[in-house]
Structure 1
């Protein structure tokens, strides 16, 4: 009789703790999450250690929508096309970021 190796029937998350790829490739931080792919909440490795995803920065569109929400709350009489406003603000923010990055790379900032 031969030994059978269990097979994984459902895909797993596989996320690793933030920073696991910095430094030597050793240590418990590189052990991936064993929960089902697409799970909610904290990650958990095979040692039952848990961690949350590192927060991500909001997108330009999310920031623009927050600004639009504030305008409609503070100035309800102001009539504007929200979609156009969000596009213009997001584009402006993106341009400012790109200009700042270019200035930093040139050493002029």
Structure 2
């Protein structure tokens, strides 16, 4: 049985590997340095989590992530502190995908 999270639930403790956005990544001349992110860093914050089957897949690339990007400012104005995207891809692929989509650490 998999864990489920509902609106208002506390995010379960977990650790993810990600490549945080830095200005050096903006021109695609660097790959970034993976680091661990603990959900403990989200304590006391409002977190919006969405998952996609895979970065760069036709539907996820065109339909799943872009609506969230289009609403980043609106979501943040409503109190969302963190927008997290989960996928089975490695952190380098997700970093590249987020830069191509224009998230750039937003």
TM-score (norm 1): 0.21
Structure holding more helix per residue: 1
Structure holding more strand per residue: 2
Larger Rg: 1
Which structure is richer in relative contact order (CA contacts within 8 A, separation 6 or more)? 2
